[in-house]
A and B are shown apart, each in its own frame.
Chain A
Amino acid sequence: AQSVSQHNHHVILSEAASLELGCNYSYGGTVNLFWYVQYPGQHLQLLLKYFSGDPLVKGIKGFEAEFIKSKFSFNLRKPSVQWSDTAEYFCAVRGYNKLIFGAGTRLAVHP
C-alpha cells in the first residue's frame, strides 16, 4: 500500500537557521512527489514537485528538495529560514492514481 511518513511533527528554528524536513514513502512503482505548504488559516499551496529528471528540484521561496530513489526519500531543504516560513509543511506522493499525504510538520520560526 502507498504511504508517506514525515519524521518531524514540530520543528522550531531561529531566523537564518537551515531547515531540513524529512519525508519517506513506500510505493513499488513510479511516483510523483510533492511538497505543499499551508499557512495559518489558508489552504494548501504547492512548494515544489518532482516527476522525473534531475532529482534536485527547486521550488518557490528558496525551497528545494532532493529525491533519493534508493532511500525512498524526498527531503525538503532551505538554507536560511525566515519568520514568514512559519507554516505547516506536507509531503505528498502520487502513485498509480492516488495522492497520499504525510501527517505534516509544523514549523515555527522565531525572529
Chain B
Amino acid sequence: NAGVTQTPKFRILKIGQSMTLQCTQDMNHNYMYWYRQDPGMGLKLIYYSVGAGITDKGEVPNGYNVSRSTTEDFPLRLELAAPSQTSVYFCASSPPTETGNTIYFGEGSWLTVV
C-alpha cells in the first residue's frame, strides 16, 4: 500500500511565486487534511475535506487554497509565496470519524520561501 503520498518532498520558492503541493491517498478515505509544522508550534490545520467537492478552513488558512475534485487527491495551492510560509507541510487522510479509525500521515514536504 502506498498510503498517503506527498510531492514534492523539498522545494525552494521565491517570494511571490506560486506552487501546488500534491497529496494522494489510495485508501478510499473520505477525510483529508493539510497541516503545517513550524518549530515549537506543533501542527496547525490549514484546510480539511470530508469528501469530494467539500472543503473547509482550518486554523491557519490564509495564503492557501485547496480543491477536492476526487476522493484520492487533495492538492494545496500557494498563490503568492511569502517567507512566513516556510514550513514543513503534512497531508493526512482518514475514514469517517465515527468508524473509530486512525489518521494516516504523509512523509511531509519541506518548503522554503526566499
Q: What residues make up the interface of A, taking CB atoms closer than 8 Å to B?
A: 6, 9, 32, 34, 43-44, 46, 49, 51-52, 90, 92, 94, 96-104
Q: Say which residue of B33, B41, B56, B107 sits within 8 Å of A103 (CB atoms).
A: B41
Residues of B with C-beta under 8 A to A51 = 100
Q: Is B52 an interface residue (CB 8 A)?
A: no
| CB atoms of A43 and B106 under 8 A apart | yes
Whether A97 contacts B56 in the complex (CB less than 8 A), given A32-B97, A34-B103, comes out as yes
Contact digits for B89-114, partner A, Cβ 8 Å, 1 yes 0 no: 01010100100101101111000000
| CB atoms of A44 and B105 under 8 A apart | yes
Q: What residues make up the interface of B, taking CB atoms closer than 8 Å to A?
A: 31, 33, 35, 40-45, 48, 50, 56, 58-59, 90, 92, 94, 97, 100, 102-103, 105-108
| CB atoms of B40 and A103 under 8 A apart | yes
Kindly report which residue of chain B lies nearest to residue A102, judged by CB atoms: B42
Q: Say which residue of A32, A43, A103, A104 sits within 8 Å of B90 (CB atoms).
A: A43
Residues of A with C-beta under 8 A to B105 = 43-44
| CB atoms of B40 and A100 under 8 A apart | no
Residues of A with C-beta under 8 A to B42 = 6, 90, 101-104
